Structure 1
Amino acid sequence: MSTPRISYAHLLAKPNPKHVQSLLDFFEHGRSKRGTGGFGVEIEHLPVHNSDDTAVSYYEPNGIETLLRRIAPYYDKDKEYWENDHLVGLAREGITVSLEPGGQVECSLGILKKPEDLNTLYRTFRRDVDPVLDELDFRLVNYGYQPKSSYADVKVNPKDRYDAMTAYLGRVGQFGPCMMRCSSSTQVSIDYVDEQDSIEKLRLGTIVGPILAWYFRNTPYFEGEPNPWPLLRQRMWDYLDFQRTNVIPGLFDPRFGWEDYAIDVLSTPLMFADLTHTPEAEGLSGKELHHPAFYENAGDVYPDRELNPYEINHIISTHFNDVRLKNFIELRHWDSLPVARAERLTEIIASLFYDPSNRQRLVSYFDGIREEDVFEAKANLQAHGRNSSPYGQPLEFWKEFLGIEGILADEPGDPKHPDVFQA
C-alpha cells in the first residue's frame, strides 16, 4: 500500500461559519466564574505482568477487560462505557477510568479544589484496584513508555476509533504506533475566565512546559532498551504529525484569539472521522462511523449546521498540540508520574498560573517571545539535556525561577525497577 501524499488543500479551505461559531460558543461556555479555579489531573498507567514486566493486553485472560469487570461494582452502573460488547470505561463522582489505545489505564481525577486533593482522591482509586491487580498478577506502573514490550507486541483495545487511528498514524509522520500503544502521560487541566486569560495561559503553558518536562521526565526505557532521548514523549509528539502537534500555529501573534484557533482545528484533516453522535449518520456500521480522514476536515465530514458538543470535542481531540484548548486548558507535556510527583507538578502549575504575582512575573519575562523561540528551546533540551540552556538560561536558573525546588528528577516510577535514565 502506498504512502498517501501530504495535502495542503486544507490551508486554503474556509471552514463552515456555523462550525466556527459552534467552537466559539463552546469556548465561551467554558469560562469559569471562579477566577482561580480548580484542576483536573489525568494519570495514565502502563499495565505490566509481574512475572516479566511485559505489557498486559486487553484481551488476555486476567487482562485489562477482566480488571475493568472486577472493579465495575465500585463505579456507577449508568456510567459504564461499552463498545463492541466490551467494557472500556467506568466512572463515578470525581473519578473516571478509561483506556488509551494500547490498554493504558487512565485515571481522570477532578475537579480538584487544591493540589493536595489529588492524593486523597487517587488513593480511593488505588484502594479499589490494587487488591484486584494482586489477584490478576499484574501491576500498573508510571513510566512514559513500556519498560519491556515493543509497540509491535501490544494489541489495540476494542474501540473502532483506534482501528481508524492506526490506519492513519501508521502512514503519516513518525512514532504514531509507539505513541498509541506504549506511551503514557500525566496531564493537568486548568480553567480560564475569558478569551484573553485563556490565550495568555495557552502561551505560558507552551513556553514553560518543555522545561517542566525536563524536571518531571520519567521515561527510562524505549522499545525494551535504555531511552536514548532526554525527552522521549516530546520527541514522539513533535514528530508524530506536523499538521496537529507541537505549538499552536500563530499562538504568539498578538492578534491571536479563539477564532484563529477554531479555524486552525476546523481546517486541518481530522485524522479520523467520528460520526457516532451525528444524527444524520444513523444506520451506518461501526467502521463507517469511524474511518481514517487523510484529507477530510470537519466541513467535509459534518453537516451544514451547528456542531454538537461531542462533535466539537472530537474535532479538538484530533489535535495534539503541547497545550490544548477545550472548554478548559489542557497541559499535555509530561510523562506518567507517581502520584507524589504528580501532586508536586500540580502545585507548581497552581503557583505559576493561579498566583497573580507569579503569573505577571512570567508574562513580563516572556514578553515578545516568538514561536520559533519555543522550537529552539525544545531542540536545545533534546540536544544538550542537563547542559541545555532553553531560552538562553541554564536549567539551574529555571529551577529557581519556576519554583521547582525539591524535585527528584530520576525518582523511579515503579519500585521494582531501578531508574536507568541519567540526570
Structure 2
Amino acid sequence: MSTRTNSGEDDVRIESRDQLVEPMQRGEKPESQWRIGTEHEKLVYKTGDFHAPSYGEQGGIRDILMSMRQFGWEPVEEAGPDGKVDVIAMSGDDGTISLEPAGQLELSGAPLETLHQTCAETGRHLTQVKTVGDELDVGFLGLGMWPDKARADLPLMPKQRYAIMKRHMPTVGNLGLDMMLRTCTIQVNLDYSSEADMVKKFRTGLALQPLATALFANSPFTEGKPNGFLSYRSHIWSDTDPHRTGMLPFVFDEDFGYERYVDYMLDVPMYFVYRNGIYIDAAGQSFRDFMKGELPALPGELPTPADWWDHLSTAFPEVRLKSFLEMRGADGGPWNRICALPAFWVGLLYDDTALDTAWDLVKDWSMEEREGLRNAVPAQALGAAIPGGGTLRDLASEVLDIAHAGLVARGRLNSMGDNESGFLNPLRQIVDTGKVPAEVLLDKYHGEWGGDITRVYEESF
C-alpha cells in the first residue's frame, strides 16, 4: 500500500462530485508522456535461521532501511499516537522503498519512459538490497507468499494504518490477514490518454489479468507444505473483503467511465482518516457520509482531496484506477520476472494496434466466463479452460505474440540497438515448457528437496 505523504491539499474541502472525478481526469496524458511505474515486493528473512525479522531487532527491518542511506536514500518518518517516531520508508531517485505489513520490502519505482530504464532501476535496487543483506545477515525471497511461516510467526510493522487494517480484516473475510502478512506481489502502473482510452485499457487488463496471474503463479506452499494451489496469493484475494476486491463487472457496462468508478469507490467502506499525523480508525464507515459531514469518526468534517486519494488506495480489485491504472494480478518473483511483468502489459496496452487486437480476443467473453476463469486460475494456472475452448496456455502464446508486436512497434531501443521485446523471454519459456514457476518449485519439493521446504531459501532473490 502507498506510503502517505503531504498532499498540499489538506486545507481544501470536497464539496462537489467534480472533485472526486478530478484525479482521474488529471491522469490523462498524451502518449509522449506515458510512463511505466513498477512495484515489487520481496520477503525478508535472517540467513541464520530463516525467521522474519521484526522492525526493531538488531539487523531487522529498521536497520535495513537505514542502511540504504549509503546509496542516497533518505528516511521517511511517521509519528504514532504516543509520539514515537519510526522510519517507515526511504525516498530516493528510484522512487520509494516502503514496508508492507509484516516487513515485506517494496520498491515503488519511479515513472520511467522505457522498459530498459525499468529493468536498470530494478537491477540497481536488487544490488543495493543484496549489499545491505550481506552486511546484516539478511536474505530476500522472491515468492508470492511465505512458504513456511504461520501468521503468528510474522511481525507487524509500526505503521498506524496497519493496526487499523489488522483489526478490521477478520470482520469481512477469512484470509485478509494472510493477504497483509504473508503475500508479495509485482504490479505495474500505466497511463491513459483519455477516458475512452482508460476504459479500453481497464477492460482489456481485467479480462487478461487471469493470464498474468497464471504466468506469474508462484505461491504453492503454506506453512511448509503444498497448499493445492499454484497461486495461493490470488486465492487469498477471493476471501479477503468482497467490498473492495474482484473483477468489477460494471467495468464492462456500456456506460463505464470515471463517474461509475467514483460510484464504486463511494460504496467501498473506509479504513481510516489521516489528521495531524494520526490515522483515525474509520473502518467500515461510508465516504458518502463523509461527503455530508456525517462520518462517525469525524462528525461535522468534510473530506479533503487527500482523504479521497487515500481512499482510492484502499480498494484492491484486479485492476485499480487512481490517476493511472494499476495491474495487480501477479505473484512476487525473482529478478527476470520483475522485468517481464511490465513488458507484458506495456506491450499490450501502450500500442493501439496491440490493444485493439488484445481486446478483440476477450471482448465477447461473458461476465460469468471472466469470473469463472479468474476463479480457476489460482489452482490450475495455464491449465484453466478459456471461453470457446482450449486453455490459458493456448491463449498465452497468442497474447505474448501481440505483446511482442506492441513492444517492437514502440521502438524504444537501448544503447545496443535492442528493442524491449526481449523482456518477454521468461514468459515465453514458461509457455513453451507448460510449467509456471509454482510447478517448478513443486517438482523440486517432491524431488531433489525431499520435502524439505527450507531448500526454497536456496532459490533466493
Shorter chain as normaliser: what TM range?
0.7 to 0.9
Pair 1:388 & 2:376 matched = no
In 2, distance between residues paired with 1:228 and 1:207?
24
Q: Is the 8 A contact 2:170 2:177 kept in 1?
A: yes
Q: CA deviation at 1:297?
A: 3.0
Q: Is the 8 A contact 2:173 2:239 kept in 1?
A: yes
Which of residues 41, 44, 48 is equivalent to 1:47? 44
Instruction: Tell me which residue corresponds to 1:144.
Output: 144
Q: Deviations over 1:133-191 (max 9, x none)?
A: 11211111111111221112212100111110011002221211111111111001110
Instruction: Tell me which residue corresponds to 1:66.
Output: 63
Go from structure 1 to structure 2 and tell me whether the alpha carbon gap of 1:35 and 1:48 turns closer, same or farther (over 3 Å shift): same
Runs of 4 or more consecutive aligned structure 1 residues displaced over 6 Å after TM superposition = none
Q: Is the 8 A contact 1:39 1:112 kept in 2?
A: yes
In 2, distance between residues paired with 1:197 and 1:97?
31
Q: Deviations over 1:45-92 (max 9, x none)?
A: 110121232322212221001111222343354x62333311110111
Name the % identity: 25
Q: Is the 8 A contact 1:53 1:147 kept in 2?
A: no
In 2, distance between residues paired with 1:382 and 1:183?
14
Partner amino acid for 2:236? Answer: M
In 2, distance between residues paired with 1:342 and 1:387?
23
3-state SS, counterpart of residue 213 of structure 1: helix
Structure 2 spans left out of the alignment, 5+ residues:
1-12, 401-426, 442-448
Go from structure 1 to structure 2 and tell me whether the alpha carbon gap of 1:48 and 1:133 turns closer, same or farther (over 3 Å shift): same
Alignment of 1:8-407 (within 5 A): 18=15, 20-34=17-31, 37-77=34-74, 80-84=76-80, 85-270=85-270, 272-276=271-275, 282=276, 286=278, 289-300=279-290, 301=295, 307-308=304-305, 310-382=306-378, 384-391=380-387, 392-403=389-400, 404-407=427-430
In 1, distance between residues paired with 2:45 and 2:64?
13
Go from structure 1 to structure 2 and tell me whether the alpha carbon gap of 1:417 and 1:67 turns closer, same or farther (over 3 Å shift): same
In 2, distance between residues paired with 1:418 and 1:76?
30
Q: Deviations over 1:324-383 (max 9, x none)?
A: 001110000111121211212221211111122221112222224333221111223345
Go from structure 1 to structure 2 and tell me whether the alpha carbon gap of 1:93 and 1:420 turns closer, same or farther (over 3 Å shift): closer
Q: CA deviation at 1:112?
A: 2.0
In 2, distance between residues paired with 1:263 and 1:388?
33
In 2, distance between residues paired with 1:221 and 1:52?
19
3-state SS, counterpart of residue 170 of structure 1: helix
Q: CA deviation at 1:115?
A: 1.5
Q: Is the 8 A contact 2:187 2:341 kept in 1?
A: no
Q: When the two structures are aligned, how many residues end up with a matched partner?
A: 394
3-state SS, counterpart of residue 334 of structure 1: strand
Q: CA deviation at 1:269?
A: 1.4
Go from structure 1 to structure 2 and tell me whether the alpha carbon gap of 1:311 and 1:19 turns closer, same or farther (over 3 Å shift): farther
CA-based RMSD: 2.7
Go from structure 1 to structure 2 and tell me whether the alpha carbon gap of 1:399 and 1:417 turns closer, same or farther (over 3 Å shift): farther
Partner amino acid for 1:406? Answer: Q
3-state SS, counterpart of residue 333 of structure 1: strand
Q: CA deviation at 1:223?
A: 2.7
In 1, distance between residues paired with 2:458 and 2:73?
40
Partner amino acid for 1:64? Answer: I
Instruction: Tell me which residue corresponds to 1:409.
Output: 436
Go from structure 1 to structure 2 and tell me whether the alpha carbon gap of 1:80 and 1:337 turns closer, same or farther (over 3 Å shift): same
